[in-house]
């Protein structure tokens, strides 16, 4: 059955073509990529996008120029009878518009019946295994994060706000060659560290505050991700216990990550250590996730995913390992590294130092 794929997610479009504009879609059929975009990006796309990528040939089309005719020609030439669409990226309204458009095109151009079928992770599964050039870009993005952390520690003085630190993180990263941040930096002082994804505000740093920094950068389209928990004074015994538990959980999970282990198993290794220490209810998220073009990708290191998403780790996948413990209204600790799966084990891509107790 000749089929086609209708691709709308920016990450998948970038992976297939290198295109980074905001308005585009792809029709993928028989190893041919048809990229449709508007006049704002058309001339640049024709210059920057290669004619072949990932063993697919690429053709670029004007989105506004006889769209129905062009699609009908593609569908007829390739004898398309089924179009797979990204159901995890397409809204219901977008799906209705697509369905209506396909039916109209079929009628106007007397095409055979074309079925629409959801296929949520088709391209994402292609992206699981990173190529050497992708790995190098991820390494460079993480190296920028390491350099920024070194400099940002010098800025952690009483009176500075979370928002100011977040701004400095982004500014420093761009100055060092990042094209963007991977996500808005998570900067948390004191009690705010007990909120896993705290939205930074004007909270000012105090002398005795615990500090949580979670940030990453994009380099040539690829993300990095890193979290460090710091102390501005000698931690309490409770803080020390929590930190050492999180660090132990992370170290054990990393030690066991290698080809063949499932994401669920990697998660359970970290989770059991935290549960044994008495913090079962304080670890409220998954142990990790894949990283690449998007900050959150497959595979997941989590206990909650169905079998089809409980993917076995393979060589050249990149994942985070980021266990955390959060004591409500007191403090939280999270430590996160990015790990490259190698042939016989793994390589930690995060070279930034972790806090140690003297």
Q: Which helix (H) or strand (E) holds 34?
A: strand 32-37
Taking alpha carbons only, the member of 241, 243, 242, 304 closest to residue 268 is: 304
Spacing of C-alpha 191 from chain mean position = 27
Distances in Å between the Cα of 68 and the Cα atoms of 36, 61, 62, 127 are: 12, 12, 12, 30
Pairing of strands 115-118, 56-62: unpaired
Token output for 113: 């019946």
* Alpha carbons 303 and 266: distance in angstroms, whole number: 9
Q: What are phi and psi of 167, to 5 degrees?
A: -65, -45
pLDDT at 141: 98
pLDDT at 51: 86
Beta-carbon contacts of 183 under 8 Å, excluding residues fewer than 6 positions away, are: 215, 216, 225, 295
Pairing of strands 3-7, 82-85: parallel
* Alpha carbons 301 and 281: distance in angstroms, whole number: 18
Beta-carbon contacts of 14 under 8 Å, excluding residues fewer than 6 positions away, are: 20, 221, 293
pLDDT at 153: 97
Domains of the chain in sequence order: 3-126 (3.40.350.10), 128-348 (3.90.230.10)
Residue 348, classed as helix, strand or coil, is strand
* Alpha carbons 228 and 150: distance in angstroms, whole number: 11
Token output for 224: 């990095």
* pLDDT-flagged residues of the chain (< 70): 1-3, 305-309, 358
CB 317 within 8 A of CB 269: no
Q: Where are the alpha helices (DSSP H) in the chain?
A: 10-17, 39-48, 67-77, 92-109, 122-127, 132-153, 162-175, 237-256, 263-276
pLDDT at 1: 44
Beta-carbon contacts of 274 under 8 Å, excluding residues fewer than 6 positions away, are: 245, 246, 249, 280, 282, 283, 323, 325
Taking alpha carbons only, the member of 176, 190, 254 closest to residue 218 is: 176
Q: Where are the alpha helices (DSSP H) in 88-207?
A: 92-109, 122-127, 132-153, 162-175
Beta-carbon contacts of 301 under 8 Å, excluding residues fewer than 6 positions away, are: 253, 263, 264, 266, 267, 286, 287, 288, 289, 319, 320, 321
């Amino acid at each position: 059955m000749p089929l086609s794929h209708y691709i709308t997610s920016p990450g998948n479009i970038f992976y297939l073509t290198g295109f980074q504009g905001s308005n585009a879609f792809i029709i993928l059929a028989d190893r041919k990529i048809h990229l449709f975009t508007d006049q704002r990006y058309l001339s640049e796309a024709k210059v920057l996008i290669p004619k072949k990528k990932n063993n697919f040939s690429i053709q670029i089309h004007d989105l506004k120029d006889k769209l129905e005719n062009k699609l009908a020609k593609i569908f007829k030439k390739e004898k398309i009878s089924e179009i797979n669409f990204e159901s995890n990226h397409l809204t219901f309204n977008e799906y209705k518009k697509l369905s209506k458009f396909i039916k109209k095109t079929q009628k106007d151009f007397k095409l055979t019946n074309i079925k629409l079928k959801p296929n949520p992770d088709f391209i994402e599964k292609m992206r699981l295994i990173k190529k050497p050039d992708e790995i190098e870009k991820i390494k460079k993005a993480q190296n920028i994060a390491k350099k920024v952390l070194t400099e940002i520690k010098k800025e952690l003085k009483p009176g500075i706000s979370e928002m100011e630190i977040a701004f400095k993180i982004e500014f420093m990263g761009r100055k060092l060659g990042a094209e963007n941040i991977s996500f808005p930096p998570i900067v948390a002082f004191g009690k705010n560290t007990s909120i896993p994804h705290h939205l930074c505000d004007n909270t000012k740093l105090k002398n005795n505050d615990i500090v949580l920094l979670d940030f990453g950068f994009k380099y040539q389209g690829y993300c990095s991700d890193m979290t460090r928990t710091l102390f501005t004074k000698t931690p309490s015994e409770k803080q020390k216990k929590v930190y050492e538990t999180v660090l132990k959980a992370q170290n054990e999970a990393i030690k066991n990550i290698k080809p063949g282990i499932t994401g669920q198993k990697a998660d359970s290794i970290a989770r059991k250590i935290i549960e044994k220490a008495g913090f079962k209810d304080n670890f409220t998220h998954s142990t990790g996730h894949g990283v690449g073009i998007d900050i959150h990708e497959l595979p997941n290191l989590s206990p909650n995913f169905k079998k089809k998403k409980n993917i076995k780790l393979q060589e050249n996948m990149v994942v985070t390992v980021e266990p955390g413990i959060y004591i409500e209204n007191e403090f939280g600790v999270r430590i996160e590294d990015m790990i490259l799966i190698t042939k016989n084990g793994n390589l930690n891509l995060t070279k930034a130092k972790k806090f140690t107790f003297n």
